[in-house]
Chains A and B, each alone.
Chain A
């Protein structure tokens, strides 16, 4: 018999997320990885500024709340202080790829032994739907009311591609949570990003293509379709960098 249960490392606190928001799924995938690996007691999570700002209330492990974009720096401090513990950050696109880009790139290039869960929904959710660094060309948001014009607002930042060009990081991958198959794969990849840290392999980042029905102005179902039709073609899924696997392949 299969019983659907809440992962142990999620608290009983009700999520504050909007109806149809995939943050709940992604929280769950992180918690399942923590449960599977039996690391709840040694894990410390770093919450971002953005929709997931109150993630510290949802995970049963020790949690801290970082300044906007600084989660990888704060995680660096925690990991350097407690190298035996497991440290993860949970960040959105504005947090990680705009204001916190320097902290992201440098934690990656130092191959800081942390796990970064990067939720890319192409918009600023918490502040009410402004253009994100990952908003697609032509995408209408509160601050790109005529559609993102790449001539003035530039192009979206492809985080997985950008970071995988660095020599430092161990593992960079992009997954999505828009259908069952993708969720299952995301679960596997997120777990790997934690396993890498346990094995002291270094910086592991998983970009999770998500959705924001509320600020995209769509029904949850239409939002998931928009992910399929627009987001994934621009942000192809896959493993972008896996240094250990690459080394293994070279040794064969």
Chain B
């Protein structure tokens, strides 16, 4: 592990973003993501970038909207209540077909909720969040290494598809430290985009960054075009990790920190002779439907493990078209299930208690 450094997940996001060529960060303090802002405040001035503590999350996301309009890599980060405030701006950015990165280090909700880890913003992240027809690319890291790697990936996918990407982490992954190997810094090369506002230099017609289409036929067409792009993303970009699924008769589905806990439970269940495996969605949108559907051909049942009242479970059921029972193993409000609780759900599933 010679090249590894020990870092908090939140810090890994910030460093990876800078290395990915992001030179603009706008944020507002909120637990448990504040280390991202603190790290950026320290580092951005050293690399000639912008760190700005905005007056609110609303202002921060609209500053992101501004930089994104100019075609440069830009990000903001927050935790659940702050992400709710950003939804207006995210909807505008999606509606204007601009790339950017939004990080949500989730905490318990609703309302002010709590500050302990949660995954209860799953619906908000994967089903739109703000008003209108749109999606974000949603990546769910489950280690500090992935916090860094997926930050880079999120920028790349956002640029490729001209849409906002979200890193959907949680307080545990944000606060924990693990050894991490960081990518070599990318040189910041600014390529002129044929849609960005950078000044016409009197050499071209003006560019307009906009999400307003008062003619409903035009707006419908715009949304259709956007969803054609989404269809391509669903085909090309679904990512997941498979763990001990080769001979599995039962399947645990979990992402982020819940997947870490579930892995322990799967290993323990295997020791008891239960043939169980784990599918960990890495992209939550697009949801890895195909691998779930294929698993449903072979396995007898699923357990959806999540830190919410049961949100991802709906996507699991949809993916397998309810062909198999799906149990819910969940904690919420900032509580995290123990591996034993997951193990009990696995036992319940294979004990035929699944309805």
- Which residues does A use to contact B, with CB under 8 Å? 11, 40-44, 46, 53-54, 56-57, 59-67, 70, 73-82, 85, 102-103, 105-106
* Chain B count of residues within 8 A CB distance of the other chain: 39
B209 touching A63, Cβ below 8 Å: yes
| Contact assessment for A56 and B64 in the assembled complex, using a CB-CB cutoff below 8 Å | no
Q: Taking the complex as formed, is B291 at the interface, i.e. its CB lies under 8 A from any CB of chain A?
A: no
Q: What are 20 A-B contacts defined by CB distance under 8 Å?
A: A11-B206, A41-B201, A44-B197, A46-B66, A61-B199, A61-B206, A62-B208, A63-B207, A64-B209, A65-B209, A67-B65, A67-B92, A70-B59, A70-B62, A75-B66, A82-B199, A102-B56, A102-B59, A103-B58, A106-B59
Q: Which residues in A have their C-beta under 8 angstroms from that of B88?
A: 67
A44-B199, A61-B199, A103-B62 known; A80-B209 Cβ under 8 A: no
- Quick check: A103 and B55 within 8 Å, CB to CB? yes
Do the beta carbons of A41 and B62 come within 8 Å of each other?
A: no
Confirm or deny: B150 has a beta carbon within 8 angstroms of a beta carbon on chain A.
Answer: no
Beta-carbon contact of B70 and A82 below 8 Å? yes
Q: Is the CB of B210 within 8 A of A64?
A: yes
Which residue of the partner chain, among B26, B62, B63, B206, contacts A60 with CB atoms under 8 Å? B206
Q: Does B202 contact A (CB under 8 A)?
A: yes
B295 at the interface (CB under 8 A from A): no
Whether the pair B72, A66 counts as a contact (CB closer than 8 A) is no
The 9 A-B pairs at the shortest CB distance, nearest first, are namely: A77-B66, A73-B62, A62-B197, A70-B62, A77-B63, A106-B55, A74-B66, A41-B202, A42-B199
Residues of A within 8 A of B67 (CB): 77-78, 80-81
Q: Does B74 count as interface, using CB distance less than 8 angstroms?
A: yes
A-B pair count, CB < 8 Å, reads: 132
B47-63 CB contact bits vs A (8 Å, 1 = yes)? 00010101110111011
Flag if B208 contacts A103 (CB, 8 Å). Answer: no
Shortest distance in angstroms between B212's beta carbon and chain A's nearest beta carbon?
6
- B64 near A65 with CB under 8 A, answer no
Interchain CA distance A103-B60 in the complex, whole Å: 10
Provide the residues of chain B in CB contact with A70, threshold 8 Å: 58-59, 62, 65, 89
Bound-state CA distance A43–B201 (Å) is 9
What is the 8 Å Cβ interface bit string for chain B, positions 161-205, against chain A (1 contact, 0 not)?
Answer: 000000000000000000000000000000000000111111100
Which residue in chain A gives the minimum CB-CB distance to B63? A77
Chain A residue numbers with a CB within 8 Å of B197 are: 44, 62-64, 78
Is B69 in contact with chain A by the CB < 8 A criterion?
A: yes
Bound complex: CA A82 to CA B72 (Å):
10
Q: Does B211 contact A (CB under 8 A)?
A: yes
Q: Is B24 an interface residue (CB 8 A)?
A: yes
8 Å CB contact of B207 from A54, A62, A78 = A62
Q: Is the CB of B66 within 8 A of A73?
A: yes
Q: Do residues A56 and B210 form an inter-chain contact, with CB atoms below 8 A?
A: yes
16 further A-B pairs in the complex, CB-CB below 8 A; given A67-B65, A81-B67: A63-B206, A63-B210, A65-B209, A66-B92, A67-B92, A73-B58, A74-B63, A76-B59, A77-B63, A77-B65, A78-B70, A79-B66, A80-B24, A103-B59, A103-B62, A106-B54
